Amino acid sequence: MRNRSLELRPCSRAVVIAALPVGINVFLFADRYEAGAPVMATAMLLSTFLSCGTIAAVLYLLGVRYVRRARGRV
């Protein structure tokens, strides 16, 4: 049986992906071209910490609820 507890519509998936933290690629490009690597490192750190709350808030606003299943049931 398919787990439907965390399913999202395609539009909602895009919103959740946009709420994710800044990726490592931004820092790698900044470091490679020597243009603001310390600033990007700080941005990565802050966005990672803030994403814990923002992703939870976005999922709540989208109406996503986690449904816990009983053990032993398929």
Q: Give the C-alpha separation, 47 to 49, whole Å.
A: 6
Q: Which of 15-19, 33-37, 62-66, 69-73 has the highest mean pLDDT?
A: 33-37
So where are the chain's domains? 10-61
Q: What pLDDT sits at residue 69?
A: 63
DSSP 4-63: -TT---HHHHHHHHHTSPPPHHHHHHHHHTTSSHHHHHHHHHHHHHHHHHHHHHHHHHTT
Q: Give the C-alpha separation, 58 to 15, whole Å.
A: 8
Q: Give the C-alpha separation, 21 to 46, whole Å.
A: 8
pTM of the model: 0.60
pLDDT digits over 20-58, tens only? 788 888 888 888 998 888 888 898 899 889 888 888 888
